[in-house]
Copies of this chain bind each other. A is one copy, B any other.
Amino acid sequence: MRPGEERCRRRVNQMDYSLIESLVIPGETRIVFLILDGLSGLPDPQRGTELQAAATPNLDALAARSACGLIDPIMPGVTPGSGPAHFALFGYDPVESNIGRGLLEGVGIGMELTPRDVVARINFATVGADGLITDRRAGRISNEECHRLCGILQQAVDLSPDAEFKIMPVKEHRAMILFRADKLSGEMRDTDPQKTGMAPLAPAALPGHESPEAERTAALVNRFLDQAREALAGEERANGILTRGFARAREYRTLEERFNLDACAIAGYPMYRGVAKLLGMTLHEITPDPRSSFEALQAVYRNHEYFFVHVKPTDARGEDGDFEGKVKVIEEVDALLPMITDLNPDVLVITGDHSTPTQMAAHSWHPVPVLIASDLSRVDGVKTFDEIAVAAGSLGRMPSVNLMAVALAHAGRLAKFGA
């Protein structure tokens, strides 16, 4: 490495994770990250934010004995997808780590990837006799239909000897496809034109990413699409396929390798499971709601050192623009919180991956409240856990990527630097 590069890397988000990694020491302590997806929001003139409107006696009591602050998922002003936002929470540079959502979901539903693989998301769609798309979701076919169609395609399509391929159902009209061959490219544009009344686009490299690898990949995808069209010709609704979110597999260093943490994930949604799996976390069974997630945490608490507990409905209600619904989810989590605090984790971090204000019904760039509860937290004057109160907390405002290092410190898992 040249000196300039090293200096650069150390500056990443003001964190020098190579320094952090060099300081890691073994410990017996346990760290829990409770991630309420899309947690934070914007104030309603009458009711304040969803966190302010919710009755959260347990979160507030915890905040009162914690260090509080704000975190920026990527950098000020940048609205993150959940993928990079989670990489940051786990101490990975979110820009450098960013990878297609399709790949994360593929891993999350159990695809075993090698570095040769290229993965994409597919939609079953309805295409008219004129070749134009009439329904981009094939009438939201059932999970069973999706399963049956994937079986047909796996049977009918043959890409040998050039490549192996594997197709896996996800949900309704959605599935994943994996191409395994040497020298493929993940920098491919979507064939989904994003609207009806158009023909699917031809597979091609993303602008500026033209390469022999991209040509090889485009030819392979074309061959797949041709055979798939034939195999689905008799279907009434799902007679076409749209691809999007191409990504090439890559390898990440695990939490074990970087931080000496035996980590596990309690998360239900494929994408979050995918991130966790790529970072070497043990995946636990799919948990449909906060209560079963917290029960799962209790069940495995003795078996690991780091726990990523993911709660999705805060984000889902935020994306729905459902202020009251988001308040209810927060209150539900608050009521269940003793299930976690009773475990007495050495370090309990509660935060979100990003904001999802119901007023915007979308992710946003606004920073996210965070609390760190531990015996070594610098307890501040913050008595309620909300976006405004924590701004005066002892953690200040920092990039999300800093959080893992700070949590390791609170867990007694970082040695002193220098004498």
Contacts and interface: CB of A to CB of B under 8 A. Distances in A.
Given A378-B387, A397-B397, A419-B245, A406 B365 contact: yes
A201 to B, nearest CB: 19
Contact of A8 (B11, B79, B419): B11
B414 A19 contact: no
Nearest to A396: B397
A77 B380 contact: no
Interface residues of A, number: 71
What number of copies of this chain does the assembly contain?
Answer: 2
A295 interface: no
A77 B372 CA distance: 12
B399 A394 contact: no
A283 interface: no
A43 B414 contact: no
B76 A406 contact: yes
Contacts of A101: 418-419
A152 to B, nearest CB: 28
A191 interface: no
B394 A396 contact: no
B20 A77 contact: yes
Interface string A69-104: 010001111111111110000000011001011000
A349 to B, nearest CB: 12
A344 to B, nearest CB: 17
A111 interface: no
Nearest to A17: B75
Best-surrounded residue of A2, A245, A359, A394 (most CB of chain B within 10 A) = A394
Given A387-B378, A388-B394, A396-B70, A419 B16 contact: no
A300 interface: no
Contacts of A405: 75-78
Best-surrounded residue of A76, A98, A409 (most CB of chain B within 10 A) = A76
B388 A391 contact: no
Contacts of A379: 42-43
Given A8-B7, A391-B393, A396-B367, A23 B414 contact: no
Interface string A398-417: 11001001111100001111
Contacts of A84: 417-418
Interface in A35-64: 42-43
A366 interface: yes
Nearest to A45: B379
Contacts of A396: 70, 367, 391, 396-397
A127 B120 CA distance: 68
Contacts of A43: 378-379
Given A4-B4, A7-B8, A416-B363, A409 B79 contact: yes
Interface in A343-382: 357, 359-360, 363-367, 376-381
Contacts of A75: 14-16, 19, 402, 405
A398 B76 contact: yes
A254 interface: no
A165 B300 CA distance: 59
A294 to B, nearest CB: 27
Interface of A: 2, 4-5, 7-8, 11-16, 19-20, 23, 42-43, 70, 74-85, 94-95, 98, 100-101, 245, 357, 359-360, 363-367, 376-381, 387-388, 391-394, 396-399, 402, 405-409, 414-419
5 contacts: A19-B74, A19-B75, A101-B418, A365-B414, A366-B394
